[in-house]
Chains A and B, each alone.
Chain A
């Protein structure tokens, strides 16, 4: 079956530090890959996505590249801010017939805390 594995957290960084959160996946076929972010007390929000190999998703300074050869979709940001403190979820969705449409498989989430 499909699965997503994220690096274990929590991750604690100082402001302006470089961020990497690792994500690897297992799936048949060609899934779409996503990063969602959850701020305290809120629902998940889409941060970025990539739908095919070598695509790079980017948003708000965050980037992730779809690497089929390593089945990875690592999240990076060059300089984090205190406001980036949240839980980050890697997810995949496999477009294969109507029953798989839009169904997301999530990783376990990584808590990021950024200190001033």
Chain B
């Protein structure tokens, strides 16, 4: 398996532009997570999905952020409009089903580094 695939790896954009980050989870995993990492705030859980359904989006900073999971193999995190304070590394992670298969073990993608000027 190629692991969790994220794109783009790096994105530089100007304030006010729309940003879309993409994630392909590991095949067969039924939970998907979006995290944000900054020096100031560490790792923050933004939202997570179980079986393509958003379960907890309490970490989404504000209405400028939205996430979708239209099918089991794809998710997007969108920021519109973007602001400089959104600059961070955004990680996608996925996990499998049931405690016997290690549902608590998250596999992370390599991250998307976003810089908003």
Residue numbers of A with Cβ under 8 A of B are 32, 34, 41-46, 49, 51, 89, 93, 95, 98-99, 101-109
Contact = CB atoms under 8 A, between A and B. Distances in A.
Contacts of A32: 104
B108 A103 contact: no
B108 A45 contact: yes
Interface of B: 4, 31, 33, 42-43, 45, 48, 50, 55-56, 91, 93, 95, 99, 103-111
B108 A44 contact: yes
Chain B interface helix/strand/loop/mixed:
strand
Given A32-B104, A102-B106, A95 B43 contact: no
Contacts of A51: 99, 104
B105 A49 contact: yes
